[in-house]
Structure 1
Amino acid sequence: LLAVATITLLTVAASATTAGACPAVCRCSGGRVYCNDRGLTAVPEGLPPGATTLFLQNNRIGDAGIPARLGRLPALRVLYLYANALEQLPAHLPPALRELHLQENNVRGLCRRALARAPLLERLHLDDNSVSAAGIEEDAFAENRRLRLLFLSRNHLSSVPAGLPPALEELRLDDNRIHTIPLRAFEGLPALRRLVLDGNLLANQRMADDTFSRLGNLSELSLGRNALAAPPANLPRARLRRLSLAANAISHVPAGALARMRALERLDLSDNNLTTLPRGLFDDLGSLSHLGLRNNPWFCGCNLAWLRDWLRRRAPPRLEVRGLLCQAPARLRGLPVGELRGEMDACESPAGGGAGGAGGGTVTGGAAAVSPAVVAASPGAAATPGLWVQAAPGGALRVRWPPAPPGASLRLSWLRPGGGAVTETLVRGERGEYVVRALQPRAPYRVCLAALEPPAAPPLCAQA
C-alpha cells in the first residue's frame, strides 16, 4: 500500500511539473491563465509552459514589462494585452500565437521584426491606439501570410497601410484620418470580404476609380461618415451584400452605380443631400431586404415618381424601406413617398434649380479639341499630345487621351464655369479614356488633364 501511495504521489508531482505551477497572482484553469485586472506592471514569472490562452488585460504593463520568457511559451495561441500601457508591439511574441489583442494601448507603429516572431498569427486587434501611417514599416506584414483579421479602428492613420497580407478577410480602418487611398492600395487581397472605412476624410477626388474594383470577394463595404459627393466608381458587384454610404455629402447617384449588384441585401444612403434618384437605379437589386434613405431632402416631384411606382410593383417582396419622406415641396413635407398618388405628377424643380444630380439630361456641344499645349511627361515617357472631350449618352462627357506608359497616374478635373468647386479624380494613364457622369444638364464644362510628375507640368484643358 505504501508503495502504491508513493507511486501515485510521484505521478502527480511529475504531472504538476509538466504543467508548470500557476503564478500566485494569477488563476489557472486547464490551459487558460487569468492574470487580468491585477494592477500588474510586468508579466508575472512562473507561467506554465502548457498555457494556451493568457489573459493580461486591464493592467499597467508597459514595454519594459514584457520579458523575453513570454516568447518561450510554446503552446500559447491567444494573448490578451488590451488596456495596458504599451507603446510598441511586444518584442517577444510566442511562435505559435494565433490571436493578439492590443486594443486601448498607445502603440505607435508596427515593425516587421516583432510581427515576424508570430508567423502563424491570424487575428490582430489594434483598435484605439496611436498607430500612424509613418509608423508602419512597408513590409511589416511580410511574414504574416496567415493574417485574416486586422483591426486598426480609431488610430491616427492618414492613408491605407501598404503591404497588407494576401490572406486578409476583414480589415477595419474606421475612425482614422484617412484622406487618400493610393493607387493599388487593395491589390493582392483576393480573400477580403469585409472592409470598414467609416469616419474618415475620404472624398471622390482622392480615390482612384478602380480603388475597390478588384475586390471580387468583398461582401461588405462601409464608407459612412466621410466626404463623398457620389458613390465611388466601379464598386465590386458579384458578391457585395452590404453597402453603407450613410452620412456623407452625396447629392447625386449615377444611373449605373448599382448595376448588376444582384447579391446586395442592405443599402444605406441615409444622412446625405439627395433630392432624387435616377430612374431604374434599383432594377438589378433583387436580393435587397433593407434600404436606408433617412434624412435626405427628398423632392417629391415627377422625377421621383418612378421610385414610388417601383416600391409598389417591382420591389423585392421582403424589402424594408426606412426614411423615404418628402421634404419638398412644402405641401408634401413629411409624407411617405410610398403613400402618394397623383401628388407627385407635377414636374416642379427644387429651389435653386436642377433635380439634385439625378444624372439625367444632355450636355450640349460636340467634341472639343484642345489647344496645342502639351502635358509634360515623366522622365523617359512620351509627351501627351492631345485631349478630346465629347458628349456621351446619359448626360455624360467622354474624355480621351493618348495612352500613357503603364503605371503613370494623371489627375482629371472638371468644373462648370460659375457653378461651384472643381471635382477631381486620379486615373491611370494607360486607360486612355474616362467617362464623367452625373453632370448638370445642358451646362458647359471645362475639363483638364495633368500629369502628376513633374508637378509643375501645365495641364491640358478643353470645354464642351
Structure 2
Amino acid sequence: PYLFTLVYVITCYKNPFSVTGAPGQCPDLCHCHSDLLHVICFNVKLKKIPRVSETTQLLNLQRNNLGNIPTGAFSDSKGLISLHMQNCQLREIGSQAFKGLTKLAYLYLSNNEITTIKPGAFEDLTGLTYLYLDGNQITELAKGLFSPMINLFILQLNNNRLRELRPGTFTGAKDLRWLHMANNTLTTLQPGSLDEVENLAILHLDGNRMATYPIAAMSKLRVVEELTLSRNPMKTLPDLAFQSFGRYMERLYLDNMGLEKFSDGAFTGVTAIKSLYLDNNRLRTLPRSLEYGTLTNLTLFNNPWTCSCSLAPLKKWMDTTRIRTDALCASPAQQKGRQVRDSSAFSSCRPKQKKNRGKTKGTRQ
C-alpha cells in the first residue's frame, strides 16, 4: 500500500494544478491528478477536511492539523479507495465518520493522538482490508467496533495504550489474518477475546505487560504462523501452550522475557517450527516436548544453561546442523563458560530409548 501511494504522489507532482471550490474541483492548496482520481494535500496546513469529488480514489491528507473526524466528513467522497491521514493531530473519530465509504480498502490513521473512537465510527467500511491505527493513545476498543469490516485483513494497533482485550472486540472481522498489538500495556487477553478471529496467521503481542500466558484466549486460534511474545514478563509457559496452532507455527519469539522455565509439554503439537528466539532469558534447560528437526534458526544466548543430560537433545541437534548457535554453560562449575556444543558434560548421557512395541513372534525367510 505504501508503494501504491508513493507512485501516485510522484504522479501528482508531475502533473499538478490547484483549483479551490466544491467537489468536482481540486481543493485549494492541494495537488491533483488531471482527472481528480488522486488528490494530494500533504503538509499544506489544512485545518478542515476538504471536500473532494465522488470520482476521487486516493486522498492524501498527511501532516495537517485536523483535530477530529466529524460525522459524515467524507459524504461527498464515496469513490475513495485509499485514505491517508497519518500525522494529522487527530484526537477523536466521530460516529459515522466514514459513512458512505463502502469502497474504501486502505485507511491510514497512524501517528496521531487518537484517544476516542465513537461507536459506529467505522460504519459502512465493508470493503476495508487494511486499517492502521498504530502510534495513537487508544486505551480500549468498544465491543463490535470492527463489526462492519467483514473483509479486514490487516489491523495495526501497535504503540497504543490498550490494557486488555475483551470478548466481542473483533466481532464481524472473521477474515482478519494479521493482528499487531505490540507495545501496548496489555495485562490480559480475556477468554473469548480472540474467538472471532480464529484464522489469524500473524499475531504480535510483544512489548506488553502480560505476566501469564493467556492460554484460554489463545486456544481458539487455529493457524498462527508467527507469534511474538517478546518483552512480556512471563516466567513460565504452560503445557499445550501452542497446541491448537502448532502444526502451522513457523516463527516464535520468546526473547527478553525473563522466562525461567517451560512446562515439559509446552511444545506439544508444535511440528513445523523453523525459527525460535529464546535469547536474553533465565532458562536453564529446555522441555522434552521441543522437537528440533524442523529448526533452521535458534537463538539461545544470554541464558544460564545447565549443561546436563536434560540438554542432550539440544547438543545432539547442534552436532548435526550447520547452524552456529551461541549458548554458554553456566553450570556445573567445571563447564561454566564453555559453549554447549563443545561441552564434555554430555559424553555419558544415554540416548532416549524408543518404546518397545512388542517382540516379533517369528521371521520370514
Distance of 1:233 and 1:172 partners within structure 2? 25
User: Could you tell me which residue of structure 1 aligns to residue 198 of structure 2?
Assistant: 190
Instruction: Give how far 1:102 is off.
Output: 0.7
User: Could you tell me which residue of structure 2 aligns to residue 72 of structure 1?
Assistant: 76
Instruction: Give how far 1:158 is off.
Output: 0.9
Q: Which amino acid aligns with 2:102?
A: P
User: Could you tell me which residue of structure 2 aligns to residue 221 of structure 1?
Assistant: 227
Higher-Rg member (1/2): 1
Maintained 8 Å contact 1:71/1:95? no
Distance of 2:247 and 2:345 partners within structure 1? 38
Distance of 2:81 and 2:239 partners within structure 1? 41
1:123 aligns with 2:127: no
1:109 aligns with 2:116: yes
User: Could you tell me which residue of structure 1 aligns to residue 342 of structure 2?
Assistant: 339
1:188 is paired with a residue of what secondary structure? helix
Q: Which amino acid aligns with 1:339?
A: D
1:271 aligns with 2:280: yes
Distance of 1:193 and 1:61 partners within structure 2? 35
Matches within 5 A, 1:132-147: 132-133=139-140, 136-147=141-152
Instruction: Give how far 1:328 is off.
Output: 3.3
Distance of 1:286 and 1:156 partners within structure 2? 39
Instruction: Give how far 1:105 is off.
Output: 1.1
1:300 aligns with 2:307: yes
Instruction: Give how far 1:44 is off.
Output: 2.8
Unaligned runs of 5+ in 2: 1-22, 350-365
Maintained 8 Å contact 2:239/2:263? no
1:271/1:48 CA distance change after superposition, 3 Å: same
TM-score w.r.t. length of structure 1: 0.63
Distance of 2:93 and 2:228 partners within structure 1? 28
Instruction: Give how far 1:238 is off.
Output: 1.6
The runs of at least 4 consecutive aligned structure 1 residues that moved more than 6 Å come to none
1:63/1:81 CA distance change after superposition, 3 Å: same
TM-score w.r.t. length of structure 2: 0.79
Distance of 1:291 and 1:210 partners within structure 2? 27
User: Could you tell me which residue of structure 2 aligns to residue 169 of structure 1?
Assistant: 177
Distance of 1:166 and 1:237 partners within structure 2? 21
1:105/1:343 CA distance change after superposition, 3 Å: same
1:43 alignment partner, one of 40, 49, 71:
49
Q: Which amino acid aligns with 1:153?
A: N
1:311 aligns with 2:318: yes
Superimposed CA distance per residue, residues 366-405 of structure 1 (whole angstroms, 9 cap, x where no aligned partner) = xxxxxxxxxxxxxxxxxxxxxxxxxxxxxxxxxxxxxxxx
Percent sequence identity over aligned pairs: 28
2:262 alignment partner, one of 245, 253, 259:
253
Distance of 1:211 and 1:266 partners within structure 2? 23
Instruction: Give how far 1:188 is off.
Output: 2.5
Distance of 2:278 and 2:150 partners within structure 1? 36
Q: Which amino acid aligns with 1:300?
A: C
Distance of 2:316 and 2:328 partners within structure 1? 15
2:218 is paired with a residue of what secondary structure? coil
Instruction: Give how far 1:35 is off.
Output: 0.7
Instruction: Give how far 1:178 is off.
Output: 0.9
Maintained 8 Å contact 1:202/1:226? yes
1:307/1:138 CA distance change after superposition, 3 Å: same
Maintained 8 Å contact 1:224/1:248? yes
> Which deviates more, 254-263 or 218-227?
254-263
Number of corresponding residues: 317
User: Could you tell me which residue of structure 2 aligns to residue 243 of structure 1?
Assistant: 252
1:84 alignment partner, one of 88, 109, 121:
88
Maintained 8 Å contact 1:298/1:327? yes
